[in-house]
Structure 1
Amino acid sequence: MKFIMAGLLASIGIATQAQDTKTEEPKGKAVVQVFGNFHTGLGAENDDRGFELERSYLGYEYKPGNGLSVKGVMDIGKSSDVSDYQRIAYIKNAMVSWETGNLTLNGGLISTTQFNFQEKFWGYRYIMKSFQDEYKFGSSADLGISAAYRFAGWISADAIIVNGEGYKKIQKNEGLNYGLGVTLTPVKGFQIRLYGGLNECGEEGKRDTGNFAAFAGYKHEKFTIGAEYNYMMNASYNEDADQSGYSIFASVNLPKEISLYVRFDDLYSKNDWNKVKDESAAILGIQFKLGEYVKIAPDFRMAMPKADGVKNSYSACINCYFGF
């Protein structure tokens, strides 16, 4: 009997070692995401139309084992200069990650935590950026380090320290950007996200920029709904140049890989200092999944500027996504 038990234990040990060895085998995957669209203005804006390759992400992620992973991604997009129609390539990610138990560490040119959670919850990045990204409240990637820890199934926290310049600029200022976030899951599907950040200016005569965000959303297999409020103090390091706004969105999953989505944004500035760019915006559309890697989403959009004498604008768009 002892020999049988010993044999069984030895077999279990060998099987466990084999399983561990299998899970620790190095593996990698390509990162390919392409965003394109055809858009046309409606009414007075009908001369603004055409096909557009908005953005491409090309890279590779490799996991050598022991919780380590390395990722490099190029971001090929358009210039912020409206007179520049050339494609510009940036390094979006060049990072190392390590996961052990409930702890995750990231270093290098990493994804920031300011609105990454909201972007994933929204789920339609190729159609429209999440609120903070759309209205330039912060950058989606930067050079630095971050850490996240799950204390329990219902609460996790994260901290980040980065340059504060984003991934498209070199470090110019002496200050750093600090951020703290907490994510709560009180019940299955319902999540709350709170975030606060301070971006040091490092220039005399300027002010530090503060970012604060609160998000709540519920995700079900049939539908998703979310709402966020955002506040930015001293935008572009300018005193009293505060901006705030909210975004509300929802989507419904229909049969045959079809979903409906709707979103409303409202951006405003303290004492109307940025009234020329303040606006409300709405989008309504439908998404079709064509297999595992392709999505097509036609939608209707309306922009309602808050500047005096500027009329509302309307447009239609067919968004296309390819990625794996």
Structure 2
Amino acid sequence: MILLTKDKNGFWFRRVYFTYDYDISEKFSTRLRVEYNSPDFTKSSGKLTPYAKDAYLKWKFEKFSLLLGISPTPTWELIEDFWGYRSVEKTPLDLQKFGSPRDFGISLIGKFGSEGKLGYHFMFGNGEGISSENNKFKKIMGEIHFDLPYFFIQIYGEYTSLMTMT
């Protein structure tokens, strides 16, 4: 991306992804996604920092899927699917640090009914996103959504304890 601001110009990569998906069988698949992220162009220069954004095993059942590892949280998966690929910028939720788009844990994702308009995503995770866990408590997240032609209705909730280990 080329960015021009008053008295500044330059070349800049905001985000770079490398994604590898592998189908082990009809029921099992894996994903490894590495993201390279850089600080805002207006701030001091910094190096692209790599980290594992996704690293999970997916077990597919008839009506739902079970994910184990670093995977999308219920906060983000639906909104990222709705917005689609954004080569330039993150979603407003991510920019405003509304929560973590990823966490290490176990997720249950599925849809109800024959038309699949009512969906759900529940996750039991560390609560630290992609960072190392620094507490003995876990985070429970969940959402239920209803898909409509050009938007969706979502109910979201989460619970965690903020006490850290000493």
Q: TM class, shorter-chain normalised?
A: 0.7 to 0.9
Match of 2:138 in 1: 176
Q: 1:43-76 deviations in whole A, cap 9, x for unaligned?
A: xxx0233210112111311102132101112111
Q: Hey, which of these two has a bigger chunk of strand by percent?
A: 1
Aligned length: 161
Partner of 2:81: 120
What is residue 31 of structure 2 aligned with on the other side? 71
The answer to which structure has the higher helix fraction is: 1
Partner SS state of residue 82, structure 2: helix
Q: Which of 141, 144, 147 does residue 105 from structure 2 map onto?
A: 144
What is the CA deviation profile of residues 148-178 of structure 1, one whole-angstrom value per residue up to 9, with x for unaligned ones? 12111221222111111111x2111222221
- If the length of structure 2 is used for normalisation, what is the TM-score? 0.86
Aligned position for 2:46: 85
Structure 1 runs not aligned, ≥5 long: 1-36, 205-324
Name the CA distance, whole Å, in 1 between partners of 2:50 and 2:93.
Answer: 22
| CA RMSD in angstroms, aligned pairs only | 2.1
Q: Measure how far apart 1:144 and its partner are.
A: 0.6
CA contact (8 A) 2:73 2:141 kept: no
Change beyond 3 A, Cα 1:57–1:190: closer
On the 8 A contact 1:79/1:88 being kept in 2, the answer is no
Q: State the partner residue of 1:292.
A: none
Aligned to 2:8: 48
Q: Which amino acid aligns with 2:78?
A: F
Match for residue 38 of structure 1?
2
CA contact (8 A) 2:107 2:121 kept: yes
1:240-255 alignment to 2 at 5 Å?
A: none
Give 1:83 deviation, angstroms.
4.0
Q: Which amino acid aligns with 1:39?
A: L
Residue 132 of structure 1 contacts residue 138 of structure 1 at CA under 8 Å; is this kept in 2? Answer: yes
Separation in structure 2 between the aligned mates of residue 48 and residue 116 of structure 1, nearest angstrom = 35
Structure 2 unaligned segments of length 5 or more: list them: none
TM-score by length of 1: 0.46
Whole-angstrom distance in 2 between the partners of 1:109 and 1:149: 18
Cα pair distance change 1:198/1:49, threshold 3 Å: farther
- Tell me the amino acid that sits aligned with residue 48 of structure 1: K
For the 8 Å contact 2:134–2:164, the answer to whether it is kept is no
Rounded to whole Å, the distance in 2 between the matches of 1:47 and 1:175 is: 48
> CA separation in 2, counterparts of 1:148 and 1:99?
10
What amino acid maps onto 1:154 in structure 2?
K
1:231-259: per-residue Cα shift (whole Å, max 9, x none)?
xxxxxxxxxxxxxxxxxxxxxxxxxxxxx
**How has the CA–CA distance of structure 1 residues 83 and 174 changed in structure 2, closer, same or farther, with 3 Å as cutoff?**
farther
* SS at structure 1 position matched to 2:136: coil
Q: Distance in 1 between matches of 2:85 and 2:52?
A: 22
